[in-house]
Copies of this chain bind each other. A is one copy, B any other.
Amino acid sequence: MPNNQFKKGELYSFMTGKASTAIARRLQKNMKQGGIEITVEQWSVLYHLWKSDGLSQQDLCNATFRDKPSITRLVDNLEKLKLVKRVASKNDRRINQVFLTEQGRKLEEETMNVANNTLNEALESVPADKIEICKEVLQIVYDNLK
């Protein structure tokens, strides 16, 4: 017998991710109000490029938990917005490295502030130790299923 057995649908909200949806929506709204005209999905790609510029599309798949077509199209849109550009790798011409443009780099500071403010709104009145446990559980869930 498994160590956890649940009543019907007990964890519905867990499964449907209403909290993460709410955070994503609020982040989107806060970015728009701050005059930042990108989607949260585009933000999640830029986020990894800010940490490490020149990642391949496959790297971005792994980092963002999205499939290859999703990344292809997110990079398409980011290119249209002139925030990144694709550069075919010299060593392996199958690979597109994705580089930030000047404009893409400029977005970092303002969006990070918006992201952190959004998280502070979301986690207001949640004690730090419970946040840690929550992060831990979500990580295990992810690892169990990946």
* Copies of this protein, total: 2
Give the size range of A's interface with the partner: 35 or more
A119 interface residue (CB < 8 Å to B): yes
Q: Which residues of B contact A127 (CB under 8 A)?
A: 3
Contact residues, A10-60 vs B (CB, 8 A)? 11-27, 40, 44, 47, 51
Q: Which residues of B contact A128 (CB under 8 A)?
A: 3-4
Q: Is the interface of A mostly helix, strand, loop or mixed?
A: helix
Output the nearest chain B residue to A113 by Cβ-Cβ distance.
B8
Q: Which of B16, B26, B115 contacts A9 (CB 8 A)?
A: B115
B133 touches A19 (CB 8 A): no
A131 interface residue (CB < 8 Å to B): yes
Chain A residues engaging chain B, CB cutoff 8 angstroms: 2-6, 8-9, 11-27, 40, 44, 47, 51, 64-65, 112, 115-116, 118-128, 130-131, 133-142, 144-146
